Chains A and B, each alone.
Chain A
């Protein structure tokens, strides 16, 4: 009898233990499943970058004053589907304002996100946000099958006053640049081709995005295109004079006309290692310019300060627009957004579902602040990019 009780008790214990083990295994499996599910949803990445881009426009007669075409850029970028540090660019919102054009040549500014001339050309959507508020047309949608998009067609297309055709804002500022806002949307076809960007620590995000902007000198027939591409004269970017300077958003200065970088920033003390007109330049010269700006040791007479305060002040100095997504004037149309980041791209609409249709609802003043005194000058947008053929890389 005692033996039977013991056997029963042993069997009960065994059953209890097996049940416990099963429950434990079940919970463990569920946890693994939950963890797997959680990690499979990769994060989405967003970045907001501000910078100045300054171009030298000629190759062989370069004076290295780097003031031939200078632009202020603000770029909101949405990245995803990263493989390691290499991420796809899904979408970019680019706001651009010309600041200086110390040039006599016909210059066009282009957006070239693929950095190659391969065929077939990848397709992407460009939405130009033209008008201030609701009303037609708020924006212009184009589907681009060429590798580049023209953002400004000539210097006379860069400034509000049409008489500002060349040598603009050199020595003193008198012309306000046209601020234009664009959405570039790459998730287009069944087999979209995304620009890819390296997000690793050694990569300067500003520099990587700056590579998408190309200045073509239509008078000379060349541009600072990419190595291997051919220009209209049969050669690609060779580097002699066709150089780009990428500058900090808040502390940028460019030399006045015919003042070379080394003269304007007083780099002589370095013993000729930054004598750029004679072919001497190195990484240390970049650092020396930073030092000259930070310590005020530049040649004041040779410098044009891009740090001019924003706002419609007497003398009409160059004004930088405040760029922030404001949401729609009518909250039923678009949900309002926070300042930068993912919310910028996650707008919703009560009836529209396609990303492109929703993006077309973005007005110029949704992106560029123009609903106060300071911003009023930007209310009409930058006008449309003139149609017709342009020279290209």
Chain B
């Protein structure tokens, strides 16, 4: 059996009503239409929201895809590596780790019409190739 003391009930009710009143009083500005908001909206960092690590607003229009190469890197752990290279379609080296495997395994590469080529050269001269 639930017993509610009348005094506590009235105090709670009073608290709720006060809270409601306060919240509506503080929010006294009428709601604006979206179109009106658009006209008034200042252009600020808060609205653009895309920053580089030092707060500079930046549009990033480099289309990239992250490749998880952890399986490949793990399979070469026992080998002595001369070069681990990722080449773009024109044959230019996009990334190279010389003298060992890279310390990380996820690589974010620009999306191009042709795939990148991963090449791993071991110290005994063998070369592993895979298109990414």
Contact = CB atoms under 8 A, between A and B. Distances in A.
B56 A211 contact: yes
Contact of A211 (B54, B81, B106, B110): B54
Interface string A245-275: 1111110100000000100000000001001
Interface stretch (A14-22, A129-137, A149-157, A224-232): A224-232
Instruction: Please classify how large the interface on chain B is, using the bins under 10, 10 to 19, 20 to 34, 35 or more.
Output: 35 or more
A155 B18 CA distance: 63
B64 A204 contact: yes
Interface stretch (A163-171, A234-242, A370-378): A234-242
A41 B80 CA distance: 11
A243 B93 CA distance: 30
Q: Please indicate which of the listed interface residues B38, B43, B110 has the most CB atoms of chain A within 10 Å of its own CB.
A: B43
Contact of A47 (B57, B83, B94): B94
Contacts of B39: 278
A91 B10 CA distance: 74
Contacts of B58: 207, 210, 243-246
A243 to B, nearest CB: 5
A41 B100 contact: yes
B106 A227 contact: no
A28 interface: no
A204 B60 CA distance: 9
Contacts of A239: 43-45, 48, 55-57
A281 B92 contact: no
A272 B56 CA distance: 23
Nearest to B98: A342
A45 to B, nearest CB: 5
Determine chain A's interface SS by DSSP, over half rule: loop
Interface residues of A, number: 70
A276 B93 contact: no
Contacts of B80: 38
Interface in B5-59: 34, 38-39, 41-45, 47-50, 52-59
Given A45-B97, A204-B108, A241 B43 contact: yes
Contacts of A201: 66, 104, 106-108
A38 B84 CA distance: 16
B63 to A, nearest CB: 5
A340 B92 contact: yes
B43 A46 contact: no
Interface in A283-297: 283, 285-286, 289-290
Interface string A334-352: 0000111110000000000
Contact of B47 (A242, A249, A272, A279): A279
B91 interface: yes
B45 A272 contact: no
B93 A341 contact: yes
Contacts of B48: 239, 243, 276, 279, 281
A44 B99 contact: yes
A243 B58 CA distance: 6
B95 A45 contact: yes
B88 to A, nearest CB: 8
Given A206-B62, A207-B52, A341-B98, 17 more contacts: A43-B99, A43-B102, A47-B96, A84-B103, A85-B103, A199-B104, A226-B55, A239-B44, A239-B56, A272-B38, A278-B43, A281-B49, A283-B49, A286-B61, A339-B93, A340-B94, A342-B96
Please list the 6 inter-chain residue pairs (A to B) with the smallest Cβ-Cβ separation, ordered nearest first. Answer: A227-B55, A201-B106, A43-B100, A340-B93, A279-B41, A341-B93
28 contacts: A43-B99, A43-B100, A43-B101, A47-B96, A48-B92, A51-B62, A62-B43, A84-B103, A199-B104, A224-B57, A227-B55, A238-B44, A243-B56, A243-B59, A244-B52, A246-B61, A249-B110, A250-B112, A272-B34, A276-B48, A279-B43, A280-B38, A286-B59, A339-B91, A339-B92, A341-B83, A341-B96, A341-B98
Interface of B: 34, 38-39, 41-45, 47-50, 52-64, 66, 80-81, 83-85, 91-104, 106-108, 110, 112
